[in-house]
Amino acid sequence: MEDLTQEEWTEQLANDENAIVLDVRTEAEVADGIIPNAIHIDIYKGQEFISEIEDLDKSKSYYVYCRSGNRSGQACQIMEQLGFENAYNLEGGMLEWTGDVVDIE
């Protein structure tokens, strides 16, 4: 797991052809908008979160974020324990995000 600043995170994301953006916030938080093309799996769902993460492609790179960077850091650690090699945590999360945000469809 690697903690990246927003600048590092967005730059690396833009140059990564295997990138998947993962939002681990709650439904209520996601209602305020998400980073474009992000998939949403709520970390507070416990075992269901683990099950959904285990279904993801471990060969991809995951750019993970939450509201402040704490839950996404935990998600990255869980992903590492499950065998994911490339999980990147967005420091500061959505609170410090200055990039694009879209409404969830």
Residue from 1, 35, 41, 66 carrying the catalytic annotation? 66
Retrieve residue 40's tokens. 């949403």
Distance, in Å, from the CA atom of 26 to the CA atom of 40, rounded to the nearest integer, reads 9
Retrieve residue 30's tokens. 């996601």
Indicate if 66 belongs to the active site. Answer: yes
Which run of H or E residues covers position 40? strand 39-40
Q: Active-site residues: which are they?
A: 66
